[in-house]
């Protein structure tokens, strides 16, 4: 399956782009260039304008002013639309359909004599998968796949459309490190084939690992755009937030000799045993990727999940979350 030959001009050229919603300016005089065979990171805090820019590229929003071309064609023309594919955080896949059917949703179902040719649908999917996920069978249901493999299917669907530009909106948000590395290998392969990738992320380690260029937006304005090699992580943080990172020191208010909460080998049906303590004057954060179990643990401590093993002590006394929740409910 052929890739549209990369033109001499940039794959995406954005010049003086602005977008207003009433009196509010979501984007102000933004410029961005995406070249063939490159990965261009788009960074900024929530509300910086990244989503607005992507929605303009996808046709969901119309710009207030400015010009955008895609592979030399004005945004909104059939040629520009055919050259772009978008992979959002939810991936846009249908779990109850096969990989082949999901790919066909983006490219169309092959037909013979007016009827769908399922052989052609499977063959087209197998060809698209060959580039990024040859280990997957077209007849597998998407519901059976890991999050990483679902991401690869979404990329395969983009390739099947012969798009030269792929926009990825935080594709690793729910991926562990090992699966993220697999995805990066695929993105690097696409770059070597001449694709242009616009990569939205909040993870600076990823940006420095795979990006060639970076654009930073803040409050709808262009703060920086240029080669990633010209920036350090600290400089990018300053560009993103608008001030130097704060220095953090250990809290002096923690009373190590006073345990307010003690959790010993606590487990639920969905989590493995976990132990930790919270001392007086201390704030303990529970973090993890989607499905890691931190939310489940919090629900168990609140009494919304049954504890299958382990003990909890509150101020040195046995604590039964479920019973306490029942008392609160009755009250």
Q: Which tens digits make up the pLDDT trace of 73-128? A: 999 999 999 899 898 877 888 889 898 888 888 777 777 777 777 787 888 888 88
Mean pLDDT of all residues in 27-53: 95
> What kind of architecture, by CATH, is found in domain 10-241?
3-Layer(aba) Sandwich (3.40)
Tell me the pLDDT band of 16, cut-offs 50, 70 and 90: very high
For the chain, how long is the longest CA-to-CA vector? 79
Q: Is the pLDDT of residue 8 over 70?
A: no
* Strands in the chain per DSSP E: 12-21, 24-34, 38-43, 65-70, 73-74, 84-87, 111-112, 115-116, 165-169, 196-200, 213-218, 221-227, 255-267, 274-280, 309-314, 317-318
Domain ranges of the chain: 10-241, 259-318
Distance of CA 99 to the CA centre of its chain: 20
Using DSSP bridges, classify how beta strands 111-112 and 115-116 pair: parallel, antiparallel or unpaired.
antiparallel
Q: Is the pLDDT of residue 5 over 60?
A: no
Mean pLDDT of all residues in 277-292: 76
Mean pLDDT of all residues in 279-304: 78
Contact 142, 150 (CB under 8 A): yes
The predicted pLDDT at position 327 comes to 47
The predicted pLDDT at position 330 comes to 45
**Calpha distance 291→294 (Å, rounded):** 8
The predicted pLDDT at position 291 comes to 62
Q: What is the pLDDT of residues 225-253, one digit of tens each?
A: 999 999 999 999 999 998 876 665 555 66
Q: Between 70 and 157, whose confidence is greater? A: 70
Q: Is the pLDDT of residue 2 over 60?
A: no
Q: Between 24 and 266, whose confidence is greater? A: 24
**Calpha distance 329→182 (Å, rounded):** 47
> What kind of architecture, by CATH, is found in domain 259-318?
3-Layer(aba) Sandwich (3.40)
């Amino acid at each position: 399956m052929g890739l549209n030959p990369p033109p001499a001009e940039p794959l995406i050229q954005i010049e003086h782009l602005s977008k207003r919603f009433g009196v509010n300016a979501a984007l102000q005089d933004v410029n961005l260039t995406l070249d063939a065979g490159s990965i261009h990171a788009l960074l900024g805090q929530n509300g910086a304008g990244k989503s607005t820019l992507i929605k303009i590229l996808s046709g969901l929003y119309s710009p207030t002013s400015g010009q955008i071309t895609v592979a030399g064609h004005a945004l909104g023309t059939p040629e520009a639309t055919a050259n772009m594919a978008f992979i959002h955080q939810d991936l846009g896949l249908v779990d109850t359909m096969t990989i082949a059917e999901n790919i066909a949703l983006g490219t169309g179902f092959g037909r013979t004599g007016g009827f769908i040719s399922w052989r052609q649908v499977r063959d087209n999917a197998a060809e698209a998968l060959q580039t990024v996920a040859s280990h997957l069978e077209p007849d597998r249901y998407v519901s059976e796949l890991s999050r990483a493999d679902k991401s690869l299917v979404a990329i395969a669907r983009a390739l099947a459309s012969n798009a030269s530009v792929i926009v990825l909106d935080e594709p690793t948000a729910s991926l562990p490190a090992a699966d993220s590395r697999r995805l990066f290998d695929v993105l690097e392969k696409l770059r070597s084939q001449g694709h242009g990738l616009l990569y939205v992320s909040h993870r600076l380690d990823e940006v420095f690992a795979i990006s060639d260029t970076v654009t930073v937006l803040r409050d709808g304005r262009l703060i920086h755009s240029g080669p990633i090699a010209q920036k350090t992580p600290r400089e990018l943080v300053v560009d993103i937030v608008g001030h130097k990172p704060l220095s953090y020191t250990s809290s002096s208010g923690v009373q190590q000799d006073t345990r307010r909460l003690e959790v010993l080998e606590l487990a639920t049906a969905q989590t493995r045993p976990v132990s930790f303590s919270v001392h007086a004057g201390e704030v303990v954060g529970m973090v993890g990727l989607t499905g890691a179990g931190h939310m489940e643990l919090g629900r168990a401590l609140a009494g919304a999940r049954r504890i299958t093993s382990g003990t909890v002590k509150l101020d040195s006394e046995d604590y039964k979350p479920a019973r306490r929740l029942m008392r609160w409910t009755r009250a």
